Every structure is written in structure tokens, then in C-alpha cells.
């Protein structure tokens, strides 16, 4: 933990200036202007402790894990498995056996869809919502095609809120799994996931929660939520790309067959048959992303030291401010105004295509995302081809939002 992070953790709210000092990329310029990074829903920037942890692995103990008796292998294994325990604590899982390292949330969802999905039969149902990312749509479509099951979709209203009564009505005796975003990447909506889990369990359905967006904005306690599966991705948790997390209840993971075959996921192999390794290694075939896991562990340390409740409070206040600034630009229409939302502002501006908005805003040094955000059904629901999206993180400031506001006024000038 850096001194900056330590001082931030001691305060009732984070000291954003000290936090920003830990992120080297925030000191660079773009098109001759200071970088204003507001594309955090796509990926967050990385603090120095994460960069240092990755560099230390490669320069001091680069070796494969679990397979060597030499010192470097033992050091690498200790750091890799130590990162797993940090992730376990971060999500309050009961045991490290419930924490599977994946490449990203997408792989975690696919793992569940293939392995747990093996129990889904023709006539069964899988329930998702109308606000899902493609990663939480396509794997279930593929499962339904393989099995003959039916994909059901719970609707959302004009604000972007999930219609809970309709979702509850869609959970029936043939529903095998409910897969729902904890937080929408396109709208910012925070779903009442604890209530959804209770609804589904009352009718015998399992629940997977996609925490790709939620996990770096708010505390997540998988035991309190009682979800069966939870996925998150490292690169949005201020960690590296190529590393993700699947939490699964131990009893379910024990019953599930392996997703991929190969080294490290086996106990024994003969040409006649193979037997599987203990959890979680049964689901981690081949050499893992060792540096990625170690970097994720460092990111979890960093977030924990600052404190997710303080981060959440800072981002909530910043979102309120940003909503006023962006909505105050003539011609702007916000897409997604849910009663409970976090850190995402999607919008359209008159007849200006979002890609043009993004291009002009970029020339002003402000990085936002434009497009359908891998959520084309959401765009269809709101009758737009795409949106511009500004998304916030702990290192963003009101000055960043003011820069966005000025850049949007510049867009209006260009297209006047």
C-alpha cells in the first residue's frame, strides 16, 4: 500500500488528489491537453502498486506455479495463491475453493453456461434481463440452442429500472438459472440483486450475478447476497487485463464438470480415463495468467486500503454533479435515469452521432466511450443506435466533469 492510499484510507472520504498521484497515466496529455479519463466502464487505469507488483513478479520470481520445487516456483505459487485469498476476502467468499481465476467475466459466464448448464434440458428456461451486456446474453443463447431450453427476458421501464414484478412472474417451475447484471454498463442501473436472489431461490432457480461493473463501485458480499455464482473482471477493478474471477458456491462447483481440459486441472491421466484436481484448480486448465492474478491481488489491496464505502460516496456525489452538468447542455437527452444508479452517464445530443461527439470531445482531451456498449438490446429499447457514455472512477474530479461540459458545448458549436 502506498502512502497516498494509506492516508486516503484514514480519512472519512478519499483525498482524490493523493489518489490521482498514484496513477501515472493521469499525468499525461492528449492532443496537447491534460488527459480527462471518463471511460472507466470500459476499463480503469492502474495505480503504481499494481504496476509494481506485476514488474516484481517478472523481475524477481518469474516461474510457473504449482509445478516446481525450486525457489522461484514456490515464490510465484505463494503470490498467485495469496492473490486468490485476497479476492476471497474482497468478496467475502467462505473459502478459496470458491474462487476460480478466469480470463474475464465473459469466460466466467461461459464456464457456468457450459458446466452448470449441462443440467439444463429441453423445455427448461433461462431468465435474463433486457439490460444485459452481450456477455450475459450470448452464452445463454448458445446454451438454449444446445439444450432446447427457452431464453426469457425480463423487461425494463423508460428510466432503465428492472420491472421486478414481471421478472418474478417469469420465474417458473422450469427456470433453471437467472442471470442478471448487478449494475448495467450502459445505463448505470443498480439492480436489487439480493431481492432477485430471494425470488429465484424461492422457486428453485439458481442465480448468476454479473458484477463486471458493480465490483469496483460498491462493496460486494457474496454470502450476504446468497448468489450461486458471481463474476467480475480484473481490468475494471484497477487490475490487469486478461484476469477475471468466478465465485461459485462450493457444493455447486464440486458437482459441475470441468469446462476446459489440460494440465493442472487433473489429478491423474491415463489413456482410459482421467480424474480431476481439487477446487478451484479443476476449472483452471493450463498455465494461468500468473502476473495478472498477482496484479489483481495488488489492486484489491489498493481498493481495500482506500475503502469501497468512501469510494462509493465520492462517486455518488460526483455522479450527481455530472448529471447536472451534462443534462444542462442544450439538446442533451440522458439515457438511463434509474432511481438507483452509479457512475455511468449515457446520453445523446440532438442529431449529432455519438461517434462524432466522441471524436470532438477527444480533441479536447476528454476520453469517453461511444457506441452500443455491447448492449444492443438496450439501444433498441430506447430507440437509439448508440449513445455517448461518460463513466466515473475514484480518481475523477469535478474539474474532469467541467472539462466534459466544455467539450460538449464545443460539440454544439461545431454542429451549429
Which stretch of DSSP H or E encloses residue 151? strand 150-154
> How far is residue 62 from each of residues 54, 72, 240, 242, 290, measured CA to CA in Å?
10, 7, 17, 18, 9
Question: With the CA atoms of 354, 355, 357 and 359 taken in that order, what torsion angle do they form, in degrees rounded to the nearest 10?
Answer: 170
C-alpha angle 182/6/20, rounded to 5°? 70
CB 167 within 8 A of CB 192: no
CB 223 within 8 A of CB 283: no
List Cβ neighbours of 90 (8 Å cut-off, separation of 6 or more).
Answer: 220, 300, 303, 304
Q: Which letter, b or e, does each residue of 109-139 get, where b requires 16 or more Cβ atoms within 10 Å of its Cβ?
A: bbbbbbbbbeebeeebbbbbbbbbbebbbbb
How would DSSP label each residue in 31-97? Answer: TTEE-EE-BTTT-----HHHHHHHHHHHHH----SSS--SHHHHHHHHHHHHHHHHHHHHHT-S-GG
Residues 200 and 196: their CA atoms lie apart, in Å, by 6
Burial class (CB in 10 A: 0-12, 13-18, 19+), 64: middle
Residues 62 and 20: their CA atoms lie apart, in Å, by 30
Residue from 141, 136, 145, 170 nearest 155 by CA? 170
Give the per-residue SS3 of 7-34: HHHHCCCCCHHHHHCCCHHHHCEECCEE
- Pairing status of strand 244-248 against strand 99-102: antiparallel
Among this protein's residues, is 227 annotated catalytic? no
> How far is residue 266 from each of residues 143, 245, 274, 277, 285, measured CA to CA in Å?
25, 20, 7, 5, 8
- Catalytic site residue from 61, 144, 227, 374: 374
Give the chain's length.
Answer: 416
Catalytic residues: 374
Amino acid at each position: 500500500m502506498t502512502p497516498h492510499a494509506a492516508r486516503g484510507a484514514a480519512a472519512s472520504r478519499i483525498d482524490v488528489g493523493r489518489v490521482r498521484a498514484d496513477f501515472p497515466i493521469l499525468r499525461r496529455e492528449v492532443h496537447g491537453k491534460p488527459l480527462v479519463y471518463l471511460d472507466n466502464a470500459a476499463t480503469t487505469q492502474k495505480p503504481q502498486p499494481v504496476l509494481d507488483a506485476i514488474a516484481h513478479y517478472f523481475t524477481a520470481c518469474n516461474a510457473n506455479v504449482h509445478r516446481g520445487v525450486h525457489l522461484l516456483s514456490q515464490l510465484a505459487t505463494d503470490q498467485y495463491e495469496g492473490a486468490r485469498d485476497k479476492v476471497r476476502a474482497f468478496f467475502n467468499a467462505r473459502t478459496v475453493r470458491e474462487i476460480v481465476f478466469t480470463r474475464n467475466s465473459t469466460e466466467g459466464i461461459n464456464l457456468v453456461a457450459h458446466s452448470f448448464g449441462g443440467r439444463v434440458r429441453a423445455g427448461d428456461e433461462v431468465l435474463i434481463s433486457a439490460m444485459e451486456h452481450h456477455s450475459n446474453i450470448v452464452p445463454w443463447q448458445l446454451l438454449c440452442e444446445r439444450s432446447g431450453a427457452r431464453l426469457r427476458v425480463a423487461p425494463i421501464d423508460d428510466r432503465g429500472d428492472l420491472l421486478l414484478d414481471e421478472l418474478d412472474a417469469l420465474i417458473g417451475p422450469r427456470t433453471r438459472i437467472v442471470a442478471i447484471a448487478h449494475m448495467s454498463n450502459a445505463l448505470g442501473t443498480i439492480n436489487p440483486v439480493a431481492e432477485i436472489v430471494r425470488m429465484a431461490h424461492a422457486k428453485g432457480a439458481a442465480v448468476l450475478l454479473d458484477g463486471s461493473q458493480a465490483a469496483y463501485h460498491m462493496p460486494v458480499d457474496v454470502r450476504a447476497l446468497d448468489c450461486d455464482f458471481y463474476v467480475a473482471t480484473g481490468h475494471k477493478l484497477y487490475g490487469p487485463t486478461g484476469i477475471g474471477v468466478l465465485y461459485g458456491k462450493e457444493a455447486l462447483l464440486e458437482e459441475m464438470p470441468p469446462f476446459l481440459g489440460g494440465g493442472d486441472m487433473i489429478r491423474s491421466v491415463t489413456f482410459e480415463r482421467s480424474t480431476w484436481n481439487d477446487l478451484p484448480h479443476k476449472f483452471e486448465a493450463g498455465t494461468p495468467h500468473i502476473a495478472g492474478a498477482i496484479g489483481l491481488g495488488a489492486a484489491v489491496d489498493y481498493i481495500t486500503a482506500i475503502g469501497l464505502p468512501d469510494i462509493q460516496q465520492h462517486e455518488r456525489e460526483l455522479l450527481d454533479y455530472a448529471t447536472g452538468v451534462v443534462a444542462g447542455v442544450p439538446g442533451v437527452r440522458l439515457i438511463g435515469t434509474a432511481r438507483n444508479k452509479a457512475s455511468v452517464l449515457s446520453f445523446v445530443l440532438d442529431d449529432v452521432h455519438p461517434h462524432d461527439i466522441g471524436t470532438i470531445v477527444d480533441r479536447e482531451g476528454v476520453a469517453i466511450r461511444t457506441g452500443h456498449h455491447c448492449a444492443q438490446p438496450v439501444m433498441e429499447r430506447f430507440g437509439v443506435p448508440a449513445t455517448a457514455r461518460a463513466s466515473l472512477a475514484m480518481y475523477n474530479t469535478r474539474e474532469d466533469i467541467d472539462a466534459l461540459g466544455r467539450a460538449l458545448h464545443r460539440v454544439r458549436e461545431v454542429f451549429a
